[in-house]
Structure 1
Amino acid sequence: MSTLTNVVWLNSICLAGIGAYLLMRVFKKKQPAPYPPGPPGLPLVGNVLDMPQAKPWLTFMEWGQKYGDISHVEILGQHTIVLNSVKTAMDMLDHKSMVYSDRPVLPMTDEFAGWKDTLLFLPYGDRFRQYRKHLHRTIGSRAALDTYNLIEEIETHRFLKRVLTTPDQLQEHIRHTAGAIILRISYGYEVKESNDPFIGIAKRALDNFSNPNAFCDFLVEFLPFLAKVPEWLPGAGFKRLARESHEMAQEMASAPYKFAMDQMAAGIAPISCISTMFEGRTLSAEEDDVAKWSAASLYAGGSDTTVSAIHSFFLAMTLFPDVQKKAQAEIDAVVGPDRLPCLADRTSLPYIEALAKEVLRWSVVTPLGFPHGVSEDNIHDGYYIPKGSLIIANLWFMLNNPETYANPSQFNPERFLTNDGKQPEPEPRTICFGFGRRICPGLLLAEASIWLSAARSLAVFDVSKVVENGVEIPPEIDYSTGTISHPKPFKCSIKPRSAASTQLIQQDARY
């Protein structure tokens, strides 16, 4: 078939789809109230040209300033509602959670890219509740999480050793440690010191998932019939990307799960999410599949999000040395020089606790969260929110709103402490982990990992700007566009605070 014929055929398919869309518009039922305000769209395609590709949270912030806390766009019949205030998000996603807890159907991401069985994309229903029940049992309470404190402390100590040896590979060390912690908790798997296959699997799968063009990038999300076109057709490159992503997602779910099952069959499995799910019972085929994908959801969720947060912690320490000195002074006074801070010290180190909170606020890991879906038509604040709408909460703006957080660009842990009778600013954890029944089930684990990495790193390292030719080089604050946003690569100097610090790092990490 010639290229010209291919193009004509693809154009015909698109025209047919637009025709079907127009017919749907003609016969659609009359809406009971106006949509929320938003930028005016074009005929046929609606607001397709208004959707930003780079740092969309900034464009959505501008919409909020122009149209109010809730705004609306429509792309080929798909309604999208953007929320720019915590109050509106809580009113809709928390207080009306029965209506706003679904996930939108995204053919590219769900079906073709292989993510449909993860908790993140699962529709609200019985299977969703089973996943949440499993994860709550293993990591959903402080008592449950205490089971894994030693794992976190050992792996974070190993992180310090790697940074001491090769500080220029900081980001790789952060990723390795995050993967090591989540794999041991999820599957009881202890990673190899380098080139671990399971860490590699997760990185490839999540790099594909969180690519910079993931948001509204594929036309198939709005014209699902395009999924039927063959992969070889010009313009159908998304089919190849989807196939590769599907293979990686399946491998990410199956390979470590098989390891854990083999360990249990041999009677040598340590405690983990999987071993806890199977404890004292035999699972049906359906329950087995739920267990596999529950663990995969934890594995995927914990392999990348804390990487971004901890990398941002080092960026903040490079840029805000006064904060670093205050934190180190607290550690020195409370913990002393003879041991590393541990998770049992959290209540005794309020400044470090506030610092960890500020990491979550200052570096918003998922600037737009993940879209909620609307399960039935709803009227909210006089506006019509049709069934099937996407609800996007602009978490980045909520955590950088100057009316809520004074000087939001400044990294200031003291905003979360009571000083001179002044009340602390709002907790970021009520925003950054999402809302309603879709709130992140691993939030306690994420907070503990960030706190421990920060406390232990500050106890033994000084982090500062790199000096080149006698001149300090300040790193740039710039974050990637993507579902999970990472700081762009930056240079910093990481050196032991003293000879005693070096000795402390080099002690055996198994204790």
Structure 2
Amino acid sequence: MQHFRQKSMAGQVISSIAYGIDMLPENDPYVADAENLLRSAVTGTTREMPSWFPGARYKRYAREWYPIVVGAVKTTYDKVKSKLDDIWVARAIPASMYLGGTDTTVSALQTFTLAMILYPEVQRKAQAEIDRVVGSSRLPDFSDQDALPYVQAVLKGVSRWHLVTPLGAPRKVIVSDVYEGYYIPAGSIIIPNVWGMMHDPAVFAEPDRFHPERWLSPDAPAFPNPVFGFGARQCPGRVLARASVWSNIVGIFKLAAFDITPTEDGPPEEAYTSGAISYVKPFRCNILPRSTVAASLVRATESDG
């Protein structure tokens, strides 16, 4: 799990875009700040209770988490402070880019790994397509995307099967409205049940099954877009997110170069945490090079930086 977080490019790519800084390959302090903030955010948004209510520790914790939130936004900003105006918005925008894009990508990669273990036939089909289209002398790149429709379907399946944010992002209604007979007063907080949308059996047959073939039919939607939100407030980083997950799934870490298999103890459970961001619970597996050629290709990319 930590390998995904530190080395999957999720943190490195977004930190270079947002701040123009490179992260350390191990024990990066910015990653540590982000993890602390995300942990507090995920816990704090899971439920809302008054601080005096028995067992309701979250509002008391909020007082402790506030310095973490401020620190995560301020520390990375201060590194490039001379290039920006000293205002909170300038600090918060790049921080939001990093905090919103790292763990969501990590969660998607965790789900992909679990899916490949629990559905080995999917892994074999995707690898066969890569071998047929790309060959074994190089790793896939973005120019191969259109020629790898089954791999694209796997990516869509990862987004739908176990959503990174099962309840999306809460929205505040600005103007009173009526939707399908329901009166929604201004000021209401709307929480979209994205999980329900992506697991509606009327839309997705066998919704709990990881089945990439569902995305290959002529009438299949282009992408499970609700996982990135709705309307004008749809996730602005969705294109980068798709590209980052695709490159990790197909290239260096996964399908093209490695076989992902269960350990001698058998396949792991399909178990996830609850909260604003859902993570696969830790499990053991084997990730081994598919061949000596695959191993040398991965080593070459590592040596190239």
Same fold flag (TM > 0.5): yes
State whether structure 2 residue 262 is matched by structure 1 residue 465.
yes
Q: Give SS of 2:264's match.
A: strand
CA distances 1:416-441 after superposition (whole Å, capped 9, x unpaired): 113xxxx2433443211111222111
For residue 46 of structure 2, the aligned residue among 202, 215, 220 is: 215
State whether structure 2 residue 24 is matched by structure 1 residue 198.
no
Residues 238-247 or 428-437, more deviating: 238-247
* Aligned amino acid, residue 261 of structure 2: S
In the alignment, what sits opposite 2:292? 499
In the alignment, what sits opposite 2:63? 243
Q: Give SS of 1:444's match.
A: helix
**CA apart distance, 1:239:** 5.0
| Identity between Structure 1 and Structure 2 (%) | 42
In the alignment, what sits opposite 1:409? 208
* Aligned amino acid, residue 351 of structure 1: Y
* Aligned amino acid, residue 22 of structure 2: E
For residue 436 of structure 1, the aligned residue among 231, 236, 239 is: 231
In the alignment, what sits opposite 2:75? 255
Q: Which has the larger radius of gyration?
A: 1
* Aligned amino acid, residue 2 of structure 2: E
Q: Give SS of 2:178's match.
A: strand
Find the aligned partners of 1:199 and 1:467 in 2 and give their Cα distance: 33
For residue 166 of structure 2, the aligned residue among 367, 370, 377 is: 367
Find the aligned partners of 1:417 and 1:236 in 2 and give their Cα distance: 47
**CA apart distance, 1:363:** 1.5
State whether structure 2 residue 278 is matched by structure 1 residue 485.
yes
**CA apart distance, 1:326:** 0.9
CA contact 1:404–1:425 (8 Å) conserved in 2? no
For residue 11 of structure 2, the aligned residue among 163, 171, 179 is: 179
Find the aligned partners of 1:334 and 1:359 in 2 and give their Cα distance: 22
Q: Give SS of 2:191's match.
A: strand
CA contact 1:183–1:190 (8 Å) conserved in 2? yes
For residue 452 of structure 1, the aligned residue among 236, 241, 247 is: 247
**CA apart distance, 1:493:** 1.3
CA contact 1:371–1:392 (8 Å) conserved in 2? yes
Task: Map residues 413-428 of structure 1 onto 2, 5 A cutoff.
Answer: 413-418=212-217, 423-428=218-223
CA contact 2:50–2:59 (8 Å) conserved in 1? no
**CA apart distance, 1:237:** 5.0
* Aligned amino acid, residue 462 of structure 1: D
**Number of residue pairs matched?**
300
Q: Give SS of 1:462's match.
A: strand
**CA apart distance, 1:238:** 4.2
CA contact 1:358–1:413 (8 Å) conserved in 2? yes
Find the aligned partners of 1:486 and 1:425 in 2 and give their Cα distance: 27
Q: Give SS of 2:255's match.
A: helix
Structure 2: 5+ residue runs without aligned partners?
A: none
State whether structure 2 residue 141 is matched by structure 1 residue 342.
yes
CA distances 1:456-496 after superposition (whole Å, capped 9, x unpaired): 1101100111113xxxx121112111000111112211111
In the alignment, what sits opposite 1:390? 189
Q: 1:385 to 1:236 in 2, by over 3 A?
A: closer
In the alignment, what sits opposite 2:198? 399
CA contact 2:49–2:56 (8 Å) conserved in 1? no
**CA apart distance, 1:241:** 1.4
Task: Map residues 110-121 of structure 1 onto 2, 5 A cutoff.
Answer: none
CA distances 1:334-377 after superposition (whole Å, capped 9, x unpaired): 21111111122212211111111110011111111111111232
Q: Give SS of 2:277's match.
A: coil
Find the aligned partners of 2:70 and 2:293 in 1 and give their Cα distance: 46
Find the aligned partners of 1:331 and 1:200 in 2 and give their Cα distance: 36
Output the aligned Cα RMSD: 2.1
Find the aligned partners of 1:321 and 1:508 in 2 and give their Cα distance: 27
Structure 1: 5+ residue runs without aligned partners?
A: 1-170, 221-225, 227-233, 265-277
Q: 1:236 to 1:391 in 2, by over 3 A?
A: closer
* Aligned amino acid, residue 290 of structure 2: R
Task: Map residues 17-28 of structure 1 onto 2, 5 A cutoff.
Answer: none
In the alignment, what sits opposite 1:160? none
**CA apart distance, 1:185:** 1.9
Q: Work out which structure has the larger RCO, using CA pairs closer than 8 Å and 6 or more positions apart in sequence.
A: 1
Q: Give SS of 1:409's match.
A: coil
**CA apart distance, 1:235:** 7.8
CA contact 2:50–2:56 (8 Å) conserved in 1? no
Q: Give SS of 2:65's match.
A: helix
Find the aligned partners of 1:303 and 1:249 in 2 and give their Cα distance: 16
**CA apart distance, 1:316:** 0.3
Q: Give SS of 1:388's match.
A: coil
CA contact 1:405–1:425 (8 Å) conserved in 2? no
Give the structure-1-normalised TM-score.
Answer: 0.56
